[in-house]
Amino acid sequence: MKIEKNKVIGISFELKVSKTEDDIESVPFSVEVRDEDDPFFFVFGNSGLPEKFEELLNGKEKGQSFSFVLEAEEAYGQADEELILSIPKSQFSEERGFSPEMLQEGNFLPLMDENQQPMQAKILKDQGSELLLDFNHALVGFDLHFEGEVLTIRNASKEELATGLVEGAN
């Protein structure tokens, strides 16, 4: 079986990131590893992952390895200034599940959007009564270096096709 639209794919991988600033590229550093004991599962064609990521996996078979780099523009693009917002600190009270330790600069806040889907925002600055939050994807502006192996391929269920979420996956 080959990777194609509407299949559930399980992969192991190491993700390294790098960034080019002022024409100087940083050395790639590891930010995530998923191994055979904790594979990453997604519905091919309905994953929400960068299009180029899926394009480079398309047609691969179980047991095949892969190694590729997605330039920032092929991955999550550059930061969108409109996604950097000041939000009243009162929105992040302990009654709403936020501890004072969570509200430190540099932390990522676990949030829900209007459709109750999980999302996160990075705290850029504590401005006293407000927090300056960055709602851009955490990997925006980075080149993504993937190296891994295709572990499983199977047909997606009707529910998985409808939701894009893989049943039984973490």
> At 117, which CATH number?
2.40.10.330
User: Do residues 16 and 30 both lie within one domain?
Assistant: yes
Residue 42 lies in a domain: yes
Is 80 exceeded by the pLDDT of residue 79? yes
Residue 110 lies in a domain: yes
Q: Mean pLDDT across the stretch 109-131?
A: 90
With beta carbons less than 8 A apart as the criterion, state whether 100 and 89 touch: no
What is the per-residue pLDDT for 167?
83
Q: Whole domain around residue 115: which residue ranges?
A: 81-134
Q: Mean pLDDT across the stretch 57-75?
A: 97
Residue 1 lies in a domain: no
Residue 11 lies in a domain: yes
User: Do residues 45 and 127 both lie within one domain?
Assistant: no
What is the per-residue pLDDT for 116?
82
> At 66, which CATH number?
3.10.50.40
What is the per-residue pLDDT for 15?
97
Residue 170 lies in a domain: no
Q: Mean pLDDT across the stretch 113-141?
A: 92
Is 80 exceeded by the pLDDT of residue 21? no
Contacts of 4 (CB under 8 A, 6+ apart): 44, 45, 58, 59
Determine whether 3 is exposed, middle or buried from the number of CB atoms within 10 Å of its CB (0-12, 13-18, 19+).
buried
pLDDT interval class at 169 (50, 70, 90): low
What is the per-residue pLDDT for 121?
94
What is the percent of the chain with per-residue pLDDT over 90, rounded to a whole number? 80
Contacts of 117 (CB under 8 A, 6+ apart): none
User: Do residues 37 and 111 both lie within one domain?
Assistant: no
Q: What's the number of domains the chain is made of?
A: 2
3-state class of 102 per DSSP? helix
Residue 169 lies in a domain: no
Residue 168 lies in a domain: no
